[in-house]
Amino acid sequence: MTDLSSTAPFSRSSHRSEAFEARLQRRYRSERMFQRAGIGAIIFAGLMLVMLLTTIVLNGYTAFWQSRFDVSVYFDPEAISPSGSIDPETLSAGDYPALVRSALTELVPAATGRDGKRALMELVSSAAGYTLRAMVMADPKLIGTHQTVSLLASDNTDQFIKGHIARSALPGERTVSDRQIGWIDDLRAKGVLKSHFSLDVLTQPNSRQPEQAGMWGALIGSIMTMLVTLALAVPVGVAAAVYLEEFAPQNRWTDLIEVNINNLAAVPSIVFGLLGLSMFLNFFGLPRSSALIGGVVLALMTLPTIIIASRAALKSVPPSIREAALGIGASPLQVILHHVLPLAAPGILTGTILGLARALGETAPLLLIGMVAFVVNVPAALSDPSTVLPVQIFMWADAPERGWTERTSAAIMLLLGFLILMNALAVLLRKKFERRW
Amino acid sequence: MRFELSDRSSGDRATPGKITARAVDVYYGAKRALHNITLNIDGNRVTALIGPSGCGKSTFLRCLNRMNDTIDICRVHGQIELDGEDIYAKTIDTVQLRARVGMVFQKPNPFPKSIYDNIAYGPRIHGLAQRGPEMDEIVQSSLERAGLWNEVKDRLKEPGTGLSGGQQQRLCIARAIAVSPEVILMDEPCSALDPIATAHIEELIDELRENYTIIIVTHNMQQAARVSQKTAFFHLGEMVECNDTEEIFTNPRDERTHGYITGRYG
Ligand SMILES: Nc1ncnc2c1ncn2[C@@H]1O[C@H](COP(=O)(O)OP(=O)(O)OP(=O)(O)O)[C@@H](O)[C@H]1O
Ligand SMILES: [Mg+2]
Instruction: Assign A247 a pLDDT band (cuts: 50, 70, 90).
Output: confident
- Pair B166, B7: CB distance under 8 Å: no
Q: What is the pLDDT of residues A345-398, one digit of tens each?
A: 888 988 899 899 999 999 889 988 888 888 888 888 888 888 999 999 999 998
Nearest CA in chain B to A319: B109
The H-assigned helical ranges of B191-231 are 195-208, 221-227
- Among A198, A229, A262, the domain boundary falls at A198
Determine, yes or no, domain membership for A224: yes
Determine, yes or no, domain membership for A209: no
Residues 84-123 of B with CB under 8 A from A: 95-99, 102-103, 105, 107, 109-113, 121-122
Question: Does residue B48 or residue A1 have the better pLDDT?
Answer: B48
What letter does residue B193 receive in the DSSP assignment? S
Percent of chain A with pLDDT over 90: 49
Cβ–Cβ gap B125/A330 under 8 Å = yes
Phi, psi angles (nearest 5°) of residue A123: -75, -30
Q: What is the pLDDT of residues B166-190, one digit of tens each?
A: 899 999 999 999 999 999 999 999 8
Say what the ipTM of the complex is: 0.86
Same domain membership, residue A227 and residue A193: no
Determine, yes or no, domain membership for A3: no
Determine, yes or no, domain membership for A11: no
Q: Is A109 helix (H, G, I), strand (E, B) or coil?
A: coil
Same domain membership, residue A293 and residue A170: no
N- to C-terminal Cα distance for chain B? 46
Same domain membership, residue A233 and residue A170: no
Same domain membership, residue A242 and residue A93: no
Same domain membership, residue A428 and residue A284: yes
Q: By alpha-carbon position, which residue is closest to atom 19 of ligand 1?
A: B54
Q: What is the pLDDT of residues B69-109, one digit of tens each?
A: 888 899 999 999 999 999 999 888 999 999 999 999 988 99
Distance between CA atoms of residues A425 and A418, nearest Å: 10
Same domain membership, residue A79 and residue A42: no
Q: How many CB atoms lie within 10 A of CB A1?
A: 3
Mutate to test the pocket of ligand 1, among B57, B191, B265 (most ligand atoms within 8 A of CB): B57
Same domain membership, residue A425 and residue A319: yes
Q: How many CB atoms lie within 10 A of CB B98?
A: 26
- Pair A176, A168: CB distance under 8 Å: no
Q: Is A111 helix (H, G, I), strand (E, B) or coil?
A: coil
Same domain membership, residue A260 and residue A346: yes
pLDDT at B8 over 70: no
Report chain A's mean pLDDT, rounded to a whole number. Answer: 89
A330 near B CB under 8 A: yes
- Among A60, A81, A115, the domain boundary falls at A60
Determine, yes or no, domain membership for A6: no
Of the candidates B219, B205, B216, the one whose C-alpha atom is nearest the C-alpha of residue B261 is: B219
Mutate to test the pocket of ligand 1, among B35, B53, B55, B223 (most ligand atoms within 8 A of CB): B55
| Closest partner CB to A327 (pick from B103, B126, B159) | B103
Domains (ranges, CATH) in chain B?
14-261 (3.40.50.300)
For residue B229, the distance in angstroms to the closest alpha carbon of chain A comes to 25
- Å from CA of B237 to ligand 1 middle: 9
Domain count, chain A: 3
Residues 24-53 of B with CB under 8 A from A: none
Q: What's the pLDDT score for residue B5?
A: 28
Pocket of ligand 1 (CB under 6 A): B 28, 33, 51, 53-59, 71
Distance between CA atoms of residues B158 and B111, nearest Å: 12
Q: What pairs with residue B214 in β-bridges? A: B46, B184
Buried b (16+ CB within 10 A) or exposed e, B153-189: eeebeebbbebeebbbbbbbbbbbbbbbbbbbbbbbb
CATH number, residue A324:
1.10.3720.10
- Among A198, A227, A259, the domain boundary falls at A198
Same domain membership, residue A413 and residue A311: yes
Determine, yes or no, domain membership for A7: no
Same domain membership, residue A250 and residue A291: yes
What letter does residue A379 receive in the DSSP assignment? P
| Closest partner CB to B111 (pick from A324, A326, A329) | A324
Same domain membership, residue A271 and residue A371: yes
Q: Is B50 helix (H, G, I), strand (E, B) or coil?
A: strand
Distance between CA atoms of residues B13 and A78, nearest Å: 114
Determine, yes or no, domain membership for A123: yes
Q: What's the pLDDT score for residue A165?
A: 87
Determine, yes or no, domain membership for A47: yes
- Considering every ligand atom, which ligand is closest to the CA of B51? 1
- Pair A135, A142: CB distance under 8 Å: yes
pLDDT at A250 over 90: no
Query: For the whole model, what pTM was predicted?
Result: 0.81
Distance between CA atoms of residues A313 and A304, nearest Å: 14
pLDDT at B1 over 50: no
Residues 294-323 of A with CB under 8 A from B: 318, 320-323
Cβ–Cβ gap B70/A322 under 8 Å = yes
Same domain membership, residue A301 and residue A269: yes
The residue segments making up the domain with residue A325 are 216-436
Residue B191 neighbours by CB under 8 Å, 6+ apart: B106, B219
Buried b (16+ CB within 10 A) or exposed e, A296-326: bbbbbbbbbbbbbbbbebbeebeeebbbbbb
- Stretch A71-88: mean pLDDT, rounded? 87
Q: Is B247 helix (H, G, I), strand (E, B) or coil?
A: helix
